Each structure stands twice: as structure tokens, then as C-alpha cells.
Chain A
Amino acid sequence: MPFLDAIRLALSTIQAQKLKSFFTLLGVTIGVMFLIAVVSIVEGMGRFMEQDLVGKIIGVNTFEVRMRPNINIGDVDESVWLAYRRRPHILESDVQPIVDALPVGTRWAMYSEDNLKVESRYSRARSARVIAVDGDWFALKKLGVARGRQFSAQESSYGENVIVIGPELERRLFPGVDPIGRELKMGGLPYTVIGVTETQGSAFGLSFDNLAIAPFKAPVHRLLNRRPHVIDAVAVQAADRSVLNDAMERERALMRARHRLHPGQDDDFTLETPESALEFWNKIKRYLVIAGVALPALGLVVGAIVIMNIMLVAVAERTREIGVRKALGARARDILAQFLVESATLSTIGALLGIALGFGLAGLITAVTPMPASVAPWSIVVGVLVGAGTGIISGVYPASRAARLDPIAALRQE
């Protein structure tokens, strides 16, 4: 029987038993729904990690000279961690040599950051991410000022008590008032708000906009590192890949020389790139993908067993039909194909439903939880294939039983 006829026949059989078909589909539908939802979440988080988080924290074609990795702290063991702690800090005095060693086509910024209590007359004290910066920090982080202005060169070099805040901190500290020109206090000292940054959004419930940026030389930097003259990082951005590699090699040589490392010794500092930060994400992703496969697989196994049973019942119920078809010239393989196509069609319909529900679930998750979800087109293809595959696998046994039926015995059945 031609394939299209077989599918049409399967659809009409399924349509004739809507309710039963619906329950049959449930397992596959739920399995595929979870598959799509989990893949969407992994995809969404991946996109977030790769584009937003890492992009915002480190930036494109950038690296940071750090004492130890900032993001890649996922599963380092005790000894590695101890070694990290014994490393020398990056110092204010390292900044000028680092900047001097940069090739053309780069820009730099240095900064320290920590969470601090920030106060204003309009609200109770709030915790915010406070960053003391120097160099091209705003340009490097692609963060613009929406209202007000950035620091002037003079404010930077004299370390004046001025500050640029994020819109979230603005909402918290200055509800209903224009913050520009007003004061906030950190560590007991007053700072004048001169600008409000653009909105960067949030992920996992954490806002990127709850921040305050001060010139590095302003007094607040002393609150950001426990030891004096220590800084968190120097960030470098290059015009392109090759300049980036050149810059990294130069800084590596420079830092090794400054720390008096012998040729055989490992680096005692970190040049962190988005790629190295992403290794951490890739480790998490592996667990997520395993969960994302195991959960739907369970649903699919249940779905496959249900389909197999329903198909066995269908074969028993339709024994006479099988006998008639055989009497009219259907070969064993025609009957086999008929029932395989039927169970594959059934389960593909289940998969399609599951894909639709999975999109819905992913959308719901994005709406009510901080997790970002994004639908991967390939997951639709996988969903359909998984559905059809489940149907074929669970149809093999019932279909081969149908195909082997003796025509006379089948016709004799009431």
C-alpha cells in the first residue's frame, strides 16, 4: 500500500477512536513536552550565558588580568583553590605597566567591586554592587549613561565623590525623585549622583541594574578590597582576535616577569576570557542536558508501553479486518506497514501536541520564573523524530503479530 494511503488510513482509524487515541498519546505528549521545555531552558540559559552574562561581565574580544578566575569557580578542588589563594594579588602598581605593554588597537579599564550598603535620605539603606573604575570602563562594558553624564577626566584623576547609578538602585534609593544632583552615602561619605545608566535587565532574579559606579580614586575603593592597593582586575578589549592574542601574550610575559616566574613555573595569575568563563557553564549544561534527556525518556518509555498495549488491543479487536485484508490480497508486510504507520502516526501526533505544550511550558517558565527559555528549532525536529521513533518501536511487536495472523483464523473471529 502506498505510504500516503497508509497515513490516511491511520488518521481515519485514529479519528474513529478519538478518546482512546488521546489517552494513548498522553505518555508521548508529556515526554516530548518535557523534552522541548528542558531543551528550551538549556538553550535559553546557554544564550543568556554566552551573550548576556559573559558578554556583560567580560565582553567581546576581551580578557581580564586577575588573581584567579572570577566565573570559573564551578568545581575546582581543594588543592587548586589553595593554590589560588596563595597567588599574589593584582596591585594598583601593576596597572601602569600593564597599560604600557598593550599593543595598539586595544583599550583598558581597571576596577574593584563588592556589595556595599548604600544610603540616601529618601529610603532605608540598600545593598548594591559598587564598582570603582578607571580607564574606558563604560565603553568596555558597553554600558551607556541614559540620564546625566559619565565622570569627567578631572573627576577621575582627582577621585572626586561622584557616582553613576543603575536604574534599579535609582528606584530603590530615590523613589519618586530625580536622583541627579542628589546625594547618597557609602561608608559614611557623601557622593553626588551625576548619572543613571541604561537598563541591562536581569537574569535568575538578579538585576544587573542595582549598581553604583565611582571613579577608582574616590575613597570608596578602600571598602572594596580588604588589603590596601589591591584591585580586582584589569580588563582589556582588543579590536579583533589577533590583536587580542597579541595583547594576551604581552600581558602574560609582563606579569610573569613582574612575579619573577621561572620558565618552568605555572602562571600565578589568570587571563580570563569569555571562553574560559563559559567552561563553567558547559559543565552545568552537561548535567542539565542529562536531566533534560532522562526526564522525557521516562515519559517516552511509559508512552511506548502504552502505545504497544493499545496497538495489541487494536490488533485483537481488528483481527477480522486483518483477515479481510489478507483475503483481498494484503501481504504480511502490508499489514505490518499498516500497523507500524498507524502507531507511528499516533505517536507523531502525540509528539506534535507535546511540542506545542512544550513551547507553552517554556513560555510559562520564562514568564513566572527568572529562568530564560528559548526554543531551539532543532528540538522541534528531534521531537517529531522521537515521536515517530517511539511509535515505530512500540508498534513492531503488535504489527508483526498482526502480520503473522492466519487469514482463515482471522476471518473466523467474531
Chain B
Amino acid sequence: MSAATDAPAGEIAISATGERKAVTASAGTSPSSEWIIVTRGIARNYDMGGEIVRALRGVDIAVMRNEYVAIMGPSGSGKSTLMNMIGCLDTPNEGEYWLNGQLVSTMTDDELARVRNKEIGFVFQTFNLLPRATALANVELPLVYAGVPAAERRERAMEALTRVQLGERVHHKPNELSGGQRQRVAIARALVNRPSILLADEPTGNLDSTTSEEIMRVFEELAQRGQTVIMVTHEPDIASHARRVVVLRDGVVSSDERKEQFVARIAQGGKTH
């Protein structure tokens, strides 16, 4: 029990790890409501003309509401593949994925589309804005597919753009905006449907370091206000904004620790890649 006084934070981390282990182990049962994401042994194979590429080989991850998680790992370790699973853009070959109490891994395409629309906000490295549409129209898109009437759509899109400090540039097309501004539009678009999780796959990968810092502050602020965030990144600096760091290696989770542990390990020369 001496550990309790030495490292209370560590104990909490250990107990959290234990809970995560428990919730990812009990296959086939719906996780309790504080777990927003639970994956149990999900695997994803790509058939490359006879040769099977095993991008994910059994990933167990559990994320609670309001967590801010960074996913790291070497190139090709399966980070994007995992994000696509979590973002319901793809379904696993094996294992189960529970999102907000719903079993996603067995859903039909239409159900997946609905979940993407209502539950998930996705921010991409390359922004993925529609080039011919204004910032406002881009942000309105998820609401269009949610069937929100035009007036309300506009109002909510304006609100989301204001939240990322782009209230003045709503009528600009993407090519009239800087990289940082484009990513802000993308974040506004991801948030406009009030998703239960915000996913970002290397959101600062195409930005210079100052702009990256700005964008990270936006995520920071969102996380502080209680938004659940999962972010893929290559940069330990960026990852240290998060409160928890998951490292993938060869399609499996190689470490899953609190930010403090992660930072300490890096300081001692530990590998992130």
C-alpha cells in the first residue's frame, strides 16, 4: 500500500488500466455507458493480390467519455486503419467494436452512414474540404445529411465557425484560406453535429509549427470543455497535449499509458516509434 502515497496518479492509472482490461475482455457484452469506445480484438486484413497485409491484428482499446487520447506509432503500424474503424469508415474483419453502446462491427452501410453523421467528427490531415463550396457550406454538409432545415443549418454552421474563430471568413472558399484556417473549417465541420467523439488523423501533418500549435490549442480547449478527442500524431510534442498516449506497433497496442508516464519514458530515452 506504500505505492498509494508515493504515486497516487500511478495508482489511478493502474486502476484505470485494470478497468480497461476488464471492459475489453468481456466479449459480446455491451459496455456500461461511461465507455464511449470499446474495441475487442479487432483485426483488419488487406488482400493485396494474394498477399495478405495484416494492418490490425487484434486491437483492444477502451475510451471513456471526456478522454483526450493520442495514438502514436511508426509509419505503417496501423494508426490510420484503426482511426477509420473507430470513425466507422471501415469495419473490422474480426473482433467487435462498440460505440456509445451500439455494436458497430455488424452494422449495415446505411447504419454506418448514420453513425458517422451523428456520432463522429473526423478531421483529416489533408483537410478534405469541398473546394467549390464556401467555408459555411462545407460546415453545413453534415447537417444537410442529417436533414436539418436550411435556416437552422446556417445558424449552427455559423456558431461552429465562430467557435474556431472563423466567424469572419465564412464565405471564403478553401483556396482563399490559409492551411490553419482550412483546418479550423474542418474542425468546425467535425463539431457541427455535436458528435460524441472527435477523431483527428495527423491534423497538423500539413501545417507549420506555429500553425500546428494554434490548431493544438483548439483541440486542447475542446477537450477541456469535455469533448472526447482521439488524435493520431507522429510528434511526441503534439502527443503530450493529450492526457493519455496509446502506441501501436505492427497492428497491436504496444503501450497505453497516462501522458505523465509517457513523457517520463520519453525523457529517459524510451522509444515512441
Contact yes or no, A324 B113, CB < 8 A: no
Report whether B113 and A321 are in contact in the complex, using a CB–CB cutoff of 8 Å.
no
- Chain A interface extent, by class: 20 to 34
Say whether B132 contacts A407, CB under 8 Å: no
Which of B109, B132, B145 has a CB less than 8 Å from the CB of A1?
B145
Q: Does A408 contact B (CB under 8 A)?
A: yes
Q: Which of A320, A321, A329 contacts B146 (CB 8 A)?
A: A329
Say whether A331 contacts B109, CB under 8 Å. Answer: yes
Q: Do A329 and B84 touch across chains, with their CB atoms under 8 A apart?
A: no
Cβ–Cβ contact A328 & B132, under 8 A = no
Once the chains bind, are B145 and A327 in contact (CB under 8 Å)?
no
**Is A282 close to B, CB under 8 A?**
no
Question: Do A327 and B116 have beta carbons less than 8 Å apart?
Answer: yes
Q: Which of A277-326 contact B (CB under 8 A)?
A: 320-321, 323-326
1/0 contact trace for A386-414 toward B, CB 8 Å? Answer: 00000000000000000000011001000
A325 and B141 within 8 A (CB):
yes
In the assembled complex, which residues on chain B have CB atoms less than 8 Å from the CB atom of A1?
144-145
Q: Is A155 an interface residue (CB 8 A)?
A: no
B144 lies within 8 A of A5 (CB): yes
A334 & B130 in contact (Cβ 8 Å cutoff) = no
Which residues, 120 to 169 on B, are CB-close (under 8 Å) to A? Answer: 122, 124, 128-130, 132, 141-142, 144-147, 150
B residues within 8 A CB of A328?
A: 116-117, 122, 141-142, 145, 189
B residues in contact with A230, CB < 8 Å: none
Look across to chain B and name the residue whose beta carbon is closest to the beta carbon of A403.
Answer: B109
A329 touching B128, Cβ below 8 Å: no
Contact (Cβ within 8 A) A330 B145: yes
Scoring A321, A323, A329, A330 by chain B CB atoms within 10 A of each residue's CB, the highest score goes to A329
Interface string of A326-366 (1 = CB under 8 A from B): 11111111100000000000000000000000000000000
Give B192's nearest chain A residue, CB to CB: A328
B window 83-103: CB within 8 A of A: 84, 87, 89-90
A257 interface hit (Cβ, 8 Å): no
Cβ contact within 8 Å between B87 and A329: no
Q: Which residue of A lies closest to B128 (CB)?
A: A324
Given A324-B130, A407-B89, A411-B128, check contact A331 B118 (CB 8 Å).
Answer: no
Tell me if A83 counts as interface (CB < 8 A to partner B). Answer: no
Q: Find the B residue at minimum CB distance from A331.
A: B113
Tell me if B208 is interfacial: C-beta within 8 Å of chain A.
no
B173 shortest CB reach to chain A, Å: 11
Are the C-beta atoms of A329 and B114 separated by less than 8 Å? Answer: yes
Return the CB mask of B206-223 against A: 1 if under 8 Å, else 0.
Answer: 000000000000000000
User: Total contacts A to B, CB within 8 angstroms?
Assistant: 62
Task: Give a binary string over B26-46; 1 marks a CB under 8 Å from any A CB, 0 the rest.
Answer: 000000000000000000000
- B-chain residues with CB within 8 Å of residue A330 when the two chains form the complex: 113, 145
Q: Once bound together, how far apart are the Cα atoms of A321 and B87, in whole Å? A: 18
A22 to B60, CA, bound (A): 54
Please, which residues of chain A bring their CB within 8 A of the CB of B84? 408
Q: Which residues of A contact B116 (CB under 8 A)?
A: 326-329
Q: A-facing mask of B165-209, CB < 8 A → 1, else 0?
A: 000000000000000000000000100010000000000000000
Quick check: is B110 within 8 A (CB to CB) of the other chain? yes
Query: Once the chains are docked, how many angstroms separate the CA of A407 from the CA of B189?
Result: 18
In Å, the complex CA distance between A330 and B117 comes to: 8
Q: Which residues of B contact A333 (CB under 8 A)?
A: 110
Q: How far is the CB of A288 from chain B (nearest CB, A)?
A: 46
B267 to chain A, nearest CB (A): 37
Task: Name the CB-closest residue of B to A6.
Answer: B144
B118 with A329: CB separation less than 8 A: yes
User: Is A245 interfacial (CB-CB < 8 Å)?
Assistant: no
A12 on the interface (CB 8 Å rule)? yes
Q: How far is the CB of A225 from chain B (nearest CB, A)?
A: 79
| A12-B141 contact given A327-B89, A329-B117, CB 8 Å threshold | no
Known interface pairs A328-B145, A331-B109, A331-B113; 15 further A-B residue pairs with C-beta atoms within 8 A, sorted by A's residue number: A1-B145, A2-B147, A320-B128, A323-B128, A327-B87, A328-B116, A328-B122, A328-B142, A329-B114, A329-B146, A329-B193, A331-B145, A332-B109, A407-B89, A408-B84
Can you sample 29 A-B contacts with CB below 8 Å?
A: A5-B150, A12-B132, A13-B132, A320-B128, A324-B141, A325-B141, A325-B145, A326-B113, A326-B116, A327-B87, A327-B89, A327-B116, A327-B128, A328-B116, A328-B117, A329-B117, A329-B118, A329-B145, A331-B113, A331-B145, A332-B110, A332-B113, A333-B110, A334-B113, A334-B145, A407-B89, A407-B90, A408-B84, A411-B124
**Which A-B residue pairs are the 6 nearest by beta carbons?**
A329-B117, A329-B145, A331-B113, A328-B142, A324-B128, A407-B89
